[in-house]
């Protein structure tokens, strides 16, 4: 599955009824990276009242990679509304932290949910994104006299993370963009009895 993720850190600030809401968004590779980012935002705003957060630490549709926190706000008024915005954005590998400096005017539960949602929406509007292309790990095994043909395939299909192993045969472990698998298999057809393809 191909999807978009943040290309860089981005932040946006709103003032709603005298409270400041600062939304920081960061690309994250996994849950641990998301937690580190949340802690870094918390450290950067030690006097703030709340640091509410939500993240999708992998592909957008993998609910095992979702998490959120209200950080002391009334239950369900911050983290979940923020996560809903992230889910509807269809972005992956994303963490959002909304830092609130309380301005003295209570917003009520509905007002809080709207404020936290709006904060994330505002930051997403100008967020730079980049594509994440789904890849497969493939292994190619061939006799040494086909080294030239293997190198041509590597170049033609722009195989990434290539590892070459020289044993009794030449073995290449690499990443192939998932959507190019059929074309790759077709390119191998004339040599299929000589080159072994394994997909893991």
Q: Please write the tens of the pLDDT for every residue from 27-43.
A: 998 999 999 999 999 99
Is the pLDDT at 20 greater than 80? The verdict is yes
Residue 34's pLDDT is: 94
C-alpha–C-alpha distance, residues 69 and 95, integer Å: 12
Angle, helices 79-89 vs 108-125, to 10°: value is 30
C-alpha–C-alpha distance, residues 118 and 120, integer Å: 5
- pTM of the shown model: 0.73
- SS3 label, residue 193: coil
In 111-195 the beta strands, taken as DSSP E runs, fall at 129-132, 135-142, 160-166, 170-177
Residue 191's pLDDT is: 85
Q: What is the mean pLDDT of residues 96-122?
A: 91
């Amino acid at each position: 599955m191909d999807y978009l993720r943040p290309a860089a850190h981005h932040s946006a600030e709103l003032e709603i009824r005298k409270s400041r809401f600062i939304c920081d968004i960061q690309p994250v590779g996994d849950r641990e990276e998301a937690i580190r980012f949340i802690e870094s935002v918390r450290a950067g705003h030690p006097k703030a009242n709340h640091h509410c957060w939500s993240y999708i630490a992998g592909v957008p549709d993998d609910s095992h990679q979702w998490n959120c926190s209200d950080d002391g706000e009334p239950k369900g008024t911050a983290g979940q509304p923020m996560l809903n915005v992230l889910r509807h954005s269809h972005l992956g590998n994303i963490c959002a932290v909304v830092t609130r400096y309380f301005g003295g005017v209570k917003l009520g539960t509905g007002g809080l949910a709207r404020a936290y949602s709006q904060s994330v929406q505002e930051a997403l509007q100008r967020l730079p994104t980049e594509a994440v292309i789904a890849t497969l790990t493939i292994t190619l095994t061939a006799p040494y006299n086909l080294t030239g043909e293997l190198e041509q395939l590597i170049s033609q299909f722009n195989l990434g993370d290539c590892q070459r192993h020289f044993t009794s045969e030449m073995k290449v472990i690499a990443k192939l963009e998932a959507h190019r698998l059929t074309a790759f298999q077709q390119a191998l057809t004339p040599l299929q009895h000589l080159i072994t393809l394994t997909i893991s």
